Amino acid sequence: MTGNAESRPTALDRADSRVRHDAGMSGAVRGFIDRIRSGDLGSLPVVVGLVVICTVFQSLNPVFLSSRNLVDLLFDSSTVGVISLGIVSILIVGEIDLSVGSVSGLASAIIGVLWVNTGWPVGLAIVVALVAGCVIGLIYSALFNRLGMPSFVSTLAGLLAALGLQLYLLGATGSINLPYDSPLVDLGQNWIMPHLVAYALVLLAGIGIFITGSRRAAQRRAAGLTPPAIAGILARAAAFVVVVEFVVWYLNQDRGVPWMFGLFVGLVVGMDYALTRTKWGRSMLAVGGNREAARRAGINVRRIYQSAFALCATLAALGGVLSAARLASASQQAGTGDVNLNAIAAAVIGGTSLFGGRGSAYSALLGIVVIQAIASGLTLLDLSSSLRYMITGGVLAIAVIVDSLARRSRVSHGRA
Amino acid sequence: MTDATERMPPAGEIVLSLRKVCKQFGAVSALTDVDLDVHAGEVVALVGDNGAGKSTLVKVLAGVHTPTSGTVTFGGRQVTLNGPNDALSLGIATVFQDLALCENLDVVANIYLGEELGPFALDEVAMEVRTWQLLGELSARIPSVREPIASLSGGQRQTVAIARALLRDPKLIMLDEPTAALGVAQTAEVLNLIERVRDKGLGVIMISHNMEDVRAVADRIVVLRLGRNNGIFYPDSSNEELVSAITGASDNAVSRRHERRHVQRPNSGGGTS
């Protein structure tokens, strides 16, 4: 392969002799170290954090890494994970939504009232809940775009208003139980992928990674740009398949992979495509990076903010629907407590910057697993919620500190 | 004078001409009866003190402000610029002083910002190839187009901003303070770049406070003072003339006479051709 490359004229992107081009395995390692040193941490803190968390909790309580506990962890991750995915979208444009917890609680209240109390079909109730979330997001964006209200304040006000609406809807009873034999609760509590389906989906994903990677390599070669090495693509796809199939196998020792988690992962993959491969996603990152530059480039900045706020609140509502399904109830407690903070913390821990312009959909997935692992470990240790809050708060603080330090280092290494 | 023939308008046809353009902000006249011609393949430097109306003029041409009165003729047709997109679609590109680049995005993403190929499945390969071509046309030296803008030097960023302006194949490119905040070497690079853009046959309007840079690349120097034309000069005009036209420090019969002579020259040159 190298001989073939040398016989060609120099590729367009290899003309500058000042740049070291890392090739092969050692090059990949060197490039990785360079990136880390300059503060481009990517998902490294998450991986390190997960290893530490697993080691600590496993040594304190051997149940922690059991298949059974991990399956429960995936169920719990999916609900807040979906909310966190919305937070990723709003953080990318450099704004914040502090009301996602209340909006998710409001959505579960709408499900309870419309579906159980009023007798509407469950599908329609879900649609109404999602539309309610979307409308809330549109209100925030209108306040932000038209009145210049900082999202920090408008969503803090929205937090109270949505919570109030949730309590009003639930009324005196305060809690509505959802029917256990319904498909929604089934999804939230025990709907599991058949084992073979889970294996097949992972394999398909691996093949997909390889095919898109090699097609991209072929396009680049045809266009006279240096293609990534096929061997590297193959290695990455194979590693993905082996690792994830192992995880699936381990989960299958108990019940298996929850469909709800599958839904969450599907949303993450879709969001990742939208953020990295579409004009909309590019515009989101541009607005988060330099709003004025985006405006001058002809991007409709208001529309982008609008889409980010609406998407965030809609996903928060979807997370509320899923958590209602998970708990089989719509209660006054839904969406309160640490839901808000967990969703934001997950996005930040996963590597989405609070300062805008940087982030990926996968940070919601990685971050929520970390957050839920901590929550699950602390629950297994039978610690009181007072301690749980303090520890989770500490972890969030550390995540933000890592983000700030990495950002400073990126600036000094010219990577912004 | 001996150089009368050299003072003929450049060979290219007139790309842009402004006649009696006025712009008022309430009681303030930011521009009064401003005339300006730009030919293809010509660098026109727009100089003047702070508040002389340079930026207002650029904004009028970029479509940010609409002139109160006067005519703008572009490519032989009289045009009205009602918004930035009007200017862009006509072929007037602007490189703003603060460059307006997104530091978190790479060079390709910045050059194609708002113009991405394939809105629902970005064609990264085609965009990267075109980016290398554009940078190659400018003989620009950018190490990698897949690095975020933050890792580039000031001169390289200016290059990216100019390449971005060239993406739409403009006929006229306006550069607002392209060499401000640049080092000596980077300034030289940007000036080379401006010459290459001119040699591609584009009209160039360049705003600068730095007389040295202006003399280095400009074919004509248009001075604005308090929103009015205050003379047209050439790179070999003496510094004194230029400075007094800019500051109005010697606004007297001598300088006015000077000015008249310079203004008349291109017209007489055009008449003989």
Q: What is the pLDDT of residues B110-160, one digit of tens each?
A: 999 988 988 888 899 999 999 998 888 877 778 888 888 988 888 888 889
* The pLDDT value given to residue A1: 38
Where do runs of H (alpha helix) occur along chain B?
Answer: 54-62, 84-90, 107-111, 124-137, 154-166, 184-199, 211-217, 239-247, 253-272
- The b/e string for A223-241 (b: 16+ C-beta within 10 A; e otherwise) is bbbbbebeebbeeebeebb
Residue A229 is classified by DSSP as P
Chain B residue with minimal CA distance to A217?
B125
A296 to B150: CB separation less than 8 angstroms, yes or no: no
Split at pLDDT 50, 70, 90, the class of B269 is: very low
B100 to A290: CB separation less than 8 angstroms, yes or no: yes
What SS3 class is residue B19? strand
A299 to B132: CB separation less than 8 angstroms, yes or no: no
How far apart, in whole angstroms, are the C-alpha atoms of residue A145 and residue A137? 12
* The pLDDT value given to residue A385: 78
Split at pLDDT 50, 70, 90, the class of A113 is: very high
A32 reaches B (C-beta below 8 A): no
* The pLDDT value given to residue B270: 40
How close does chain A come to B170, measured CA to CA in Å?
Answer: 15
Residues 6+ apart with CB under 8 A from B206: B43, B44, B45, B46, B174, B175, B178, B194, B214, B217, B218
Average pLDDT of B65-75? Answer: 90
Q: What is the pLDDT of residues B1-13, one digit of tens each?
A: 344 444 445 557 8
| Cβ atoms of residues A50 and A371 within 8 Å | no
Residue of B103, B106, B112 best to disrupt the A interface, most CBs of A under 10 A: B103
- The domain in which residue A265 lies consists of 44-191+258-412
Neighbours of A400 (CB within 10 A): 16
B125 to A18: CB separation less than 8 angstroms, yes or no: no
| Cβ atoms of residues B201 and B226 within 8 Å | no
The answer to whether residue B106 scores a pLDDT higher than 50 is yes
How close does chain B come to A190, measured CA to CA in Å?
Answer: 36
| Cβ atoms of residues B52 and B225 within 8 Å | yes
Most confident range, picked from A119-128, A172-181, A371-380: A119-128
Q: Which residues of A touch B143 (CB under 8 A)?
A: 16, 18-19
Sheet with B203-207: strands ordered across: B92-95, B172-176, B203-207, B43-47, B220-225, B228-233
A292 reaches B (C-beta below 8 A): yes
B100 to A297: CB separation less than 8 angstroms, yes or no: yes
Question: In the numeric block, which tokens belong to residue A8?
Answer: 């060609």
* The pLDDT value given to residue A388: 80
The answer to whether residue A392 scores a pLDDT higher than 50 is yes
Residue of B125, B141, B142, B146 best to disrupt the A interface, most CBs of A under 10 A: B125
A358 to B104: CB separation less than 8 angstroms, yes or no: yes
A225 reaches B (C-beta below 8 A): yes
Neighbours of A403 (CB within 10 A): 20
The answer to whether residue A253 scores a pLDDT higher than 60 is yes
Q: Which of A312, A338, A341, A357 lies closest to A400, judged by CA?
A: A341
Percent of chain A topping pLDDT 70: 91
Residue A24 lies inside a defined structural domain of this protein: no
**How is chain A split among helix, strand and coil, in percent rounded to 5?**
75, 0, 25
Higher pLDDT, B246 or A380: A380
Could you give the C-alpha distances from A220 to A4, A9, A241, A406, in angstroms and in order? 15, 14, 25, 32
Q: Which residues of A touch B127 (CB under 8 A)?
A: none
Q: Which residues of A touch B104 (CB under 8 A)?
A: 285, 288-290, 357-358, 416
* The pLDDT value given to residue B6: 45
Residue A269 lies inside a defined structural domain of this protein: yes
CATH topology of domain B2-91+171-272: Rossmann fold (3.40.50)
How far apart, in whole angstroms, are the C-alpha atoms of residue B266 and residue B263? 7
Which of these ranges, A140-144, A367-371, B209-213, has the smallest mean pLDDT?
Answer: B209-213
Q: Which residues of B touch A225 (CB under 8 A)?
A: 125, 128-129, 132
Residue A200 lies inside a defined structural domain of this protein: no
Domain count, chain A: 1
A279 reaches B (C-beta below 8 A): yes
Average pLDDT of A203-217? Answer: 94
Average pLDDT of B38-51? Answer: 90
Residues 6+ apart with CB under 8 A from A322: A78, A79, A82, A187, A188, A260, A263
How far apart, in whole angstroms, are the C-alpha atoms of residue B269 and residue B33? 23
* The pLDDT value given to residue A122: 92
Residue A373 lies inside a defined structural domain of this protein: yes
Which of these ranges, A9-23, A65-79, B31-45, has the smallest mean pLDDT?
Answer: A9-23
A410 to B88: CB separation less than 8 angstroms, yes or no: no
Residue A30 lies inside a defined structural domain of this protein: no
The answer to whether residue A4 scores a pLDDT higher than 60 is no
Give A172: exposed, middle or buried? Use CB within 10 Å, 0-12, 13-18, 19+: exposed
Residue A55 lies inside a defined structural domain of this protein: yes
How close does chain A come to B68, measured CA to CA in Å?
Answer: 23
- The values of phi and psi at residue B248, to 5°, are 70, 15
**Per-domain residue ranges of chain B:** 2-91+171-272, 102-169
The answer to whether residue A269 scores a pLDDT higher than 90 is yes
The answer to whether residue B254 scores a pLDDT higher than 80 is no
Q: What is the pLDDT of residues B181-220, one digit of tens each?
A: 777 877 888 888 889 889 888 999 999 888 888 888 999 9
Split at pLDDT 50, 70, 90, the class of A415 is: low
Residues 6+ apart with CB under 8 A from A194: A256
Average pLDDT of A138-162? Answer: 95
Enter the ipTM.
Answer: 0.84
Higher pLDDT, A416 or A98: A98
A278 to B122: CB separation less than 8 angstroms, yes or no: yes
Where do runs of H (alpha helix) occur along A257-300?
Answer: 259-277, 279-289, 291-296
Where do runs of H (alpha helix) occur along A61-150?
Answer: 67-92, 100-111, 122-147
Residue A12 lies inside a defined structural domain of this protein: no
* The pLDDT value given to residue A296: 80
Percent of chain A topping pLDDT 90: 59
The answer to whether residue B223 scores a pLDDT higher than 80 is yes
Split at pLDDT 50, 70, 90, the class of A321 is: very high
Average pLDDT of chain A to the nearest whole number: 88
* The pLDDT value given to residue A393: 83
Task: Find the CB nearest B113 among A220, A277, A297.
Answer: A297
The full DSSP string for B122-156 is: --HHHHHHHHHHHHHHTT---S-TTSBGGGS-HHH
Average pLDDT of A160-179? Answer: 90
A277 to B114: CB separation less than 8 angstroms, yes or no: no
* The pLDDT value given to residue B265: 57
Residue A18 lies inside a defined structural domain of this protein: no
- CATH code of the domain in which A271 resides: 1.10.3470
Give A21: exposed, middle or buried? Use CB within 10 Å, 0-12, 13-18, 19+: middle
